[in-house]
Structure 1
């Protein structure tokens, strides 16, 4: 968590004496110890910046968002870089060739996730699909996601839910347009994606959505592996001074109670016949498969809870964050906004509403989304991988147990591979070429290889529909005193790169919004 890490960095800079005690308390095991000195000397590790005793390279990350600080370090030390964050050995890949070796050539060696002490505390031995270690249990859940939960057929079956929730969003925006007042589009988008995702998972909306969003945002501030106990796992002092164990335990218990209540209410609704004959939702699928799966790794109730949490978080946060960045970039680039609106309104000239049937020929709209994903990948450092077996990447040795990070944000802005890398130019994708489906390592906002995000189609369906509808029905202005050049584009700290400030905009109605509701 950011505050926890910044607090400790301040201690490092200001208080030298306590660090000596910290060093004594930290029973560090690593290549510096005599037993491993010869092995370490024989290895050709990737280069890295200068390190300090005890904290290693932590001071290089102070004062900047991690993906930006790591990009700046990689420019000086190379596309494959060694770091030591406290006791944690890490390698950072910052070029397409390095990413290719990590996520394709040696995909099997890097197929697991590192599980830090605080993540172990959070999961308590039950894993979903995101952080599950590579093995039979992960393969089973991944197969369930691919074939049952997130298949093209299943995503398509939730189309009525998406369209209904999109109309709710449009009506809220239309009310602001009628009053000629600014609207908090960030809040509206977050509610649209959250409600749509929850209805797909449990078959209905729930009154505690705002509480859920609060808990989700709190969880996303906890950067995996970056709390004090994670960075200094051998130190009892780190555990004592850190707030992380208490915060993580409280957050875990809150989310567990939340999921227990959802499952209980869902089962009561199904048993009483109050579901109005709705189609099978994702929780229905999981509960059915729990009875059907015959495996050495059964689908337990705890597994189901974690899978649901994975889908709540990944399914809603990434789509909502991307939608907010799309609209922010369009507000900053009126030429692109006009071109995208012209395409949508031309394609739907004889329509009074937007449905998913209307999205097929919106070519430029998809270029806008691709360019947004290039500049603002949902998880800029993807998710960490763990080296399960020693291997060589770009000619360097990667020791077993090393945490490996792919800086997708830096790669997608690399001037060696992108013209005008920091500018918003959707036309760069005009004639095909690079795509984000895992085959082009200059552009991997969803990752690649066997740990690639399985919910990509689910998230994109929400983004395309809402974006087309917002551009079709409204023109957009910025509030007084804000210009395209001064619009705040600051990123927030966390696993995802959400906007730090809410996107406040003034909608101007162009096509009336239907009041009909199907849900």
Structure 2
């Protein structure tokens, strides 16, 4: 290893000197969007800070909604307005639908089998069709409504037990456990954690670790020759975490194989998504193997559980901070559902204020403020500028959702702004794209929407909630944890009081 470093370092320095000189010359003659010049070698890396979405939003006010930064050796174009997002995600969707290669995913062939990280290629389109047709089809999701309602009832019983014992509830922790089981019921037809046990916390730590290791700022992504030595150890850490996740998935697969067997006649009535995948694995011509279905399952578990629980926790925090909004939501639930009956999914369409709360929560607290990085697959002209092939394209959805050109009082929590409005998060309104838009829009929106609305409505309808003694609503910590997803920095710990028999 020492000999390798002795060789790499001088070569690296020589190459960087050349690249820096070349980039300064080419920048003057290119038609890239405007942006900061940056420092020699590192470019604008040090300008990103701990919260890059905020730093990029500030820079865009100076350089415009389509801005170029040099991050090490990587040319990056940043989109910071709804109009430019529409240009990129609608008009040039096909050309800019690639994915930036991340060094952390260069383990177990993860990127090649991942729905989220694969390139815009035939294999990725096949995976997306599979998910849309076999897992997230509305008819299939509707058929599993009873399973989701059962899991939310288990959540309410867990909270009722805590209330009877005078214990507070960690909203993020218990909703993560429920969201994980809601996803698991859809994928696997069984629970994977017990909401009462510590296993949910362990799995949450695993999911958080994977999310951060994949998307954390990695010097090897900006200077690819450094991937030989993995200087920050990010790829090694991600490999260890994926090994844990794959071991968990292997247990699920082994259990299913032992109970059902494999081979001809695999397809059965009432099959779940794991059955579908294993049926494909048993078909040699399909191209699916036991190894390459695990990244697909990992994507679904990670995105489904973490995003949903983060959204519910932020929604509850905002409502506790704004008691008048909490009262309005509870009044709507009481009027639509009555007293003493559990919320059902069929009730959700009759709760417009609840929908507005979820939208406003997603506007202010996006699960992924910069979405996942796009890549130009060809050289393309956007708004009169040239975006060269293989340029990284970042969509600053956080900046767009707080743009005062589209949102009045953009930093205030005002669910009422969505009442009577047709603006939603399905990818048609570019001022509000928490899950992206175009062909790279999140594939699991339909399931996530059902999960979040049912959990939040049930928590509000079944309990009243109080902050710890002596804490006023305005004292509630509303800071987000630094990183690529935005969970609360300080967990929401509150005291429930039941309003109905559960």
Same fold (TM over 0.5): yes
Secondary structure of the 1:129 match is coil
| Aligned equivalent of 1:178, options 159, 164, 173 | 164
The farther-off stretch of 132-141 and 350-359 is: 350-359
Look up the SS of the partner of 1:512 in the other structure: coil
Deviation per CA, 1:259-283: give whole Å up to 9, x if none: 22221112112349xxxx9942210
Q: Say which of 160, 168, 180 aligns to 2:146.
A: 160
Mapping 1:167-316, distance limit 5 Å: 167-207=153-193, 209-224=200-215, 226-235=217-226, 239=229, 241-271=231-261, 279-291=270-282, 298-316=287-305
Give the unaligned 5+ runs of structure 2.
Answer: 1-8, 194-198, 263-267
* Partner-residue secondary structure (3-state), 1:360: helix
Residue of structure 2 in register with 1:134 after alignment = 120
After superposition, give the CA deviation of every residue in 1:71-127 in whole Å (9 maximum; x if it has no partner). 122122211111122222111100011111111111011111111233223635632
Change (3 A) 1:482 1:225: closer
By how many angstroms is 1:32 displaced?
4.7
Which of these residues, 15, 30, 38, is aligned with residue 51 of structure 1? 38
**Match 2:403 to one of 382, 398, 414:** 414
Among 470, 477, 489, the alignment partner of 1:500 is 489
Structure 1-normalised TM-score?
0.88
Question: Structure 1 residue 69 and structure 2 residue 55: aligned?
Answer: yes
Query: Could you report, residue by residue, the CA deviation over 1:128-173 in whole angstroms, capped at 9, with x for unpaired residues?
Result: 2111111110111111111111110122222122111101110111
Please state whether the residue corresponding to 1:234 is helix, strand or coil: helix
Q: What's the secondary structure of 1:475's corresponding residue?
A: strand
1:421-454 deviations in Å (ceiling 9; x for gaps): 0111111111123221111100001110001111
Q: Which residue of 2 aligns with 1:517?
A: none
Q: Quick one: distance in 2 between partners of 1:219 and 1:26?
A: 34
TM-score of the two chains, using structure 2 as the length reference: 0.91
2:499 corresponds in structure 1 to 510
Is the 1:119–1:224 Cα contact (8 Å) retained in structure 2? no
- Give the corresponding residue for 2:81: 95
Counterpart contact for 2:169–2:496, Cα < 8 Å = yes
Deviations 1:21-80 (A, max 9, x none): 67854634986555x887654321111124111211111122x31211211221222111
- After superposition, residues 30-49 of structure 1 pair within 5 angstroms as 32=20, 40-49=27-36
- Give yes or no for contact 1:173–1:507 (8 Å, CA) kept in 2: yes
Alignment of 1:345-424 (within 5 A): 345-349=334-338, 351-424=340-413
Tell me the equivalent position of 1:490: 479
Alignment partner of 1:493: what SS? Answer: coil
**1-side partners of 2:406 and 2:15: how far apart?**
44
State whether residues 119 and 225 of structure 1, in contact with CA within 8 Å, keep that contact through their aligned partners in structure 2: no
Contact 2:462 2:498 in 1 (8 A): yes
For these two proteins, the number of residue pairs brought into alignment is: 486
Contact kept? 1:436, 1:446, Cα under 8 Å: yes
Distance across 1 between alignment mates of 2:342 and 2:27: 64
The gaps in structure 1 that reach 5 residues or longer are 1-20, 514-519
Distance in 1 separating the partners of 2:159 and 2:216: 39
SS in 1 for 2:381: strand
Kindly indicate whether the alpha-carbon contact (under 8 Å) linking 1:256 and 1:305 is maintained by their aligned counterparts in 2.
yes
Cα gap change, 1:71 to 1:199, in 2 (>3 Å):
same
The correspondence of residues 386-465 of structure 1 with structure 2, limited to 5 A, is 386-465=375-454
Cα distance in 1, alignment partners of residues 18 and 86 from structure 2: 28
More deviation, 67-76/408-417? 67-76
* CA RMSD of superposed structures (Å): 2.5
Task: Tell me which of 16, 26, 47 is aligned to 1:60.
Answer: 47
Cα distance in 1 for partners of 2:147, 2:156 equals 14
Partner of 2:68: 82
The answer (yes or no) to whether the contact 2:78–2:395 under 8 Å persists in 1 is yes
